[in-house]
Amino acid sequence: MRTYLEKLKEEKKNRAPEIKKKEIEDRAISNAQFTTCLIDGVQEKVANYCIEPPGIFRGRGEHPHAGKIKSRIVPEYVAINVGFDNPIPACPIPGHAWKKVINNQEATWLCHFKDENNTYASSSKYLFLAAESKLKGLNDKKKYERARRLKAIVGDVREDYTKNMKSNDRVNQQLGLATYFIDKLALRVGNEKGEDEADTVGCCSLRVEHISLAEENKVTFDFLGKDSMRFFSTVDVDPLVYTTMKLMLFKYVDGRKVQKEPKDDLFEMIDAGKLNDHFKKHMSDLSAKVFRTYNASVTLQTQLEEKAGDAMKENSHVDAKVKFFNDCNRDVAILCNHKKT
């Protein structure tokens, strides 16, 4: 099979340039009807409009369902969102019908689907507008406006979580420490995972096994974050944070203080819901994501100012400017634990 596929690949690569060009043109014509849509009378680009083909599910990291078969997505699995009085797009496969057709003016998705043949494929996937569309642009604008509003109160937020870590109340201590992690380490909030999902964690789902304390206020984090990306970092923390983390390694059973087991939650008294409710005391739409946007923006701004030098002079070559920007952006990627696999 491999030899046959390699042969096909080689033949495809060696086609004449005019044949390749003709295929690209034909593909563009046949796909034209899927690449755009009308929103309030304005033509907007659609993001990736191709449904994923059947195949073997790979997942990322040590996903429990790696190796299972993904079946073909048929129209009966697909719900589409169209204008109230607009014509319904024709179903592409004769003899099939859409799962449902709705008119939801609050949603920004055009269709959603999931593999209903397999119980493990529990989450829906969505088709959205392209990044350069007006709606996406507005959402990005709102995201950065939230970060700007956080900038105005971030001093009060940091004062509050410092006060909470000094509290004698264990819930307040955990809320304070978790907020510190999200602010200073750009951790995601972390939701509970089912048994059929990859064991990825965020701030609220950290376990004792994910951290180790060293001398001189050093803490090492080692866990799988979103998309099974490993977060492995040793950081210097404030003495107050270090002391509070030591307290989190113990729990109280029948009034007795006992050492937690490696599989025990670091934050047994709070969850993502409680933490997000706590954030809303500072700002109605504050979330862990807003902290990430704010700190990433501050990091980039700082790097742009510190590293500008010769790269940003008017007569600088464009390659030098691109390298300068990528160098600045690298620090943001490190902060947010973004990695190329």
215-230 per-position pLDDT tens digit: 889 999 998 887 777 8
Same fold, 18-132 and 136-335: no
Question: Letter for the amino acid at 215?
Answer: E
| Confidence class for position 106, pLDDT limits 50, 70, 90 | confident
The domain 18-132 having CATH identifier 1.20.120.1730: the answer here is no
Maximal C-alpha separation, the chain: 80
Query: What pTM value is reported for the model?
Result: 0.74
Instruction: Give the pLDDT score at 152.
Output: 94
Give me the residue label for tokens 């690949």. Answer: 9
CATH topology of domain 136-335: Topoisomerase I; Chain A, domain 3 (3.90.15)
Residue ranges covered by each domain of the chain: 18-132, 136-335
**Residue 91 DSSP one-character state:** P
Tell me, what amino acid is at 260?
Answer: K
Relative to beta strand 36-39, strand 125-127 is unpaired
Confirm if 114 and 124 have CB atoms less than 8 A apart: yes
Say whether pLDDT at 325 is over 70: yes
The mean predicted confidence, pLDDT, of the chain is: 88
